[in-house]
């Protein structure tokens, strides 16, 4: 957790695909943008804040105490039809939900154009990504918890 705090404090962007305490519980510096990409392709079922107090969801009081899914500047959804569900699930305005495919899904559709090469003049910024590792899928040597 301390390593995460350091990287978040020194990054200009924090990209997460699950609930992350460092994104929702802590105050961020003015230069940090928090981007929620979620870990699902689409909105095939309800999730996040939209299922509080349901069998599959969390307790509403716990979610409020943990500021669950608060503090996101941008939420990415896989398609325009998913925007309302993602806004509901993350308790944000639909204006904060942008349509963009997950990185792993780019190129999966025959309708999508090939990814163009990155121009040599591109400026990269330091970004901290906190993936949602499941215990059975954690890569060897990973220290993520």
- CATH number for the domain spanning 32: value is 3.40.50.11820
CA 96 to CA 120: how far, in whole Å?
30
12-21, 41-50, 106-115, 128-137 — which one is most confidently predicted on average? Answer: 12-21
Cβ 126 vs Cβ 11: under 8 Å: yes
Q: Give 65-85 pLDDT, tens digit per residue.
A: 989 999 899 999 988 899 999
CA 69 to CA 142: how far, in whole Å?
25
The reply to whether 6 falls in a domain is: yes
CA 138 to CA 145: how far, in whole Å?
9
The reply to whether 143 falls in a domain is: no
Q: Give 99-125 pLDDT, tens digit per residue.
A: 986 665 555 554 555 555 555 555 555
**9 Cβ partners below 8 Å, 6+ apart?**
29
The reply to whether 110 falls in a domain is: no
Whole-angstrom distance between the N-terminal and C-terminal Cα of the chain?
9
Confidence band (pLDDT; 50, 70, 90) for 34? very high
The reply to whether 126 falls in a domain is: yes
- By residue range, what is the domain housing residue 73? 2-103+121-130
Question: Could you tell me the pTM of the whole model?
Answer: 0.67
Q: Which strand ranges, in their side-by-side order, compose the sheet holding 74-77?
A: 97-99, 74-77, 33-36, 13-16, 127-130
């Amino acid at each position: 957790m301390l390593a995460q705090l350091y990287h978040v404090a020194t990054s200009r962007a924090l990209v997460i695909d699950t609930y992350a305490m460092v994104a929702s519980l802590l105050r961020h510096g003015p230069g940090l943008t928090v981007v929620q990409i979620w870990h699902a392709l689409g909105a095939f079922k309800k999730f996040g804040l939209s299922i509080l107090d349901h069998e599959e969801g969390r307790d509403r009081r716990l979610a409020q105490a943990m500021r669950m899914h608060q503090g996101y500047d941008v939420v990415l959804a896989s398609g325009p039809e998913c925007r309302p569900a993602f806004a509901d699930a993350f308790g944000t305005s639909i204006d904060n939900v942008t349509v963009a495919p997950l990185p792993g899904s780019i190129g999966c559709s025959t309708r999508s154009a090939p990814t163009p090469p990155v121009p040599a003049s591109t400026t990269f910024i330091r970004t901290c990504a906190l993936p949602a590792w499941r215990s059975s899928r954690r890569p060897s040597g990973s220290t993520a918890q």
